[in-house]
Amino acid sequence: MTMLPPPSAKKLGLVIDLDTCVGCHACAVACKEWNSGGVAGPLTDEDPYGAEPFGVWFNRVHSYEVAAGDGQPASTLHFPRSCLHCETPACVSVCPTGASYKRASDGIVLVDEDKCIGCKLCSWACPYGAREYSQVEGVMKKCTLCVDRIYNEHIPEESRQPACVQACPARARHFGDLGDPSSAVSLLVAARNGADLMPELGYRPVNKYLPPRPRRAAEGDVPAMPKDEALDASQLNPLLRWLDRALSR
């Protein structure tokens, strides 16, 4: 059992725009490249050129076909998935050795691989499938929010952001302090009705997802877009509920 620190004022995290993500996987590849050479060490692959390759990826992008309905045409939804750096993460509290921990200073959830015994309790506790076990090293790994980039004074200031954010060609990924209501990411979440993933579980993810905007549709099928382009909750919930169901499979 590992104790959680009191909630931090600073809550670093990602805001991911499901409206503009094009499913190119640039974020996942940039993540793998940076972290394999950084503090997280090798993100190992097994049978990479075989029939069933498998390996450690901190960020995975899933694509779903969404059937037409509610006045919306059929579409493809791309859903990047990584650790959400939850406020009350059971992945930390179930850890028997203290290897999983949440930083009091900025809320980032990390794994100390020297303390990890590979019991996998944290991966059972995480409802988002964000933990990645290295069969080769026998330890658990996860997104570090590029902690070795964002505070790194040896790289240009504009590069002090997670590799996935810097690589995204669609600008679908944003990084910042979600504990500060006046930060750019907080304002973006407020303007676009950003939402938690599976809030009913009570893990209180720091990362937020911005829902897709309504697509073209037959006249009269879809309510007019409000002036500020915000969606109301009754429009958002069906999509997020659907995404939750898809994730839970």
Q: Which positions touch ligand SF4 (CB under 6 A)?
A: 21-27, 61, 78, 80, 83-86, 89, 91, 109, 126, 128, 130-131, 142, 167-168, 170, 172-173, 203
**How far is the C-alpha of 13 from the C-alpha of 171, rounded, in Å?**
15
**173 φ/ψ angles, rounded to the nearest 5 degrees:** -120, 135
Q: Considering the complex, state which of residue 57 and residue 128 has its C-beta at the smaller distance from ligand SF4.
A: 128
Which residues, including other chains, have CB under 8 Å from residue 65's CB and lie 6 or more apart?
A: 74, 75, 76
To ligand SF4, the closest distance from the beta carbon of 220 in angstroms equals 32
To ligand SF4, the closest distance from the beta carbon of 86 in angstroms equals 3
To ligand SF4, the closest distance from the beta carbon of 177 in angstroms equals 17
To ligand SF4, the closest distance from the beta carbon of 158 in angstroms equals 18
In 3D, which of 85, 72, 77 has the Cα closest to residue 18? 77
Q: Considering the complex, state which of residue 162 and residue 214 has its C-beta at the smaller distance from ligand SF4.
A: 162
Q: Which amino acid is at 72?
A: Q
Q: Considering the complex, state which of residue 126 and residue 147 has its C-beta at the smaller distance from ligand SF4.
A: 126
Residues paired with residue 174 on neighbouring β-strands, in sequence order: 15
Q: Considering the complex, state which of residue 128 and residue 175 has its C-beta at the smaller distance from ligand SF4.
A: 128
Q: How far is CA 58 from the centre of its chain?
A: 9
To ligand SF4, the closest distance from the beta carbon of 81 in angstroms equals 9
Which residues, including other chains, have CB under 8 Å from residue 183's CB and lie 6 or more apart?
A: 176, 177
111 burial type by CB count under 10 A (0-12 exposed, 13-18 middle, 19+ buried) = buried
To ligand SF4, the closest distance from the beta carbon of 94 in angstroms equals 10
Q: Considering the complex, state which of residue 71 and residue 129 has its C-beta at the smaller distance from ligand SF4.
A: 129
Q: Considering the complex, state which of residue 78 and residue 231 has its C-beta at the smaller distance from ligand SF4.
A: 78
Q: How far is CA 42 from the centre of its chain?
A: 20
Q: Considering the complex, state which of residue 105 and residue 217 has its C-beta at the smaller distance from ligand SF4.
A: 105
C-alpha dist (Å) from residue 179 to 11, 182, 187: 5, 9, 11
Q: How far is CA 219 from the centre of its chain?
A: 35
To ligand SF4, the closest distance from the beta carbon of 23 in angstroms equals 5
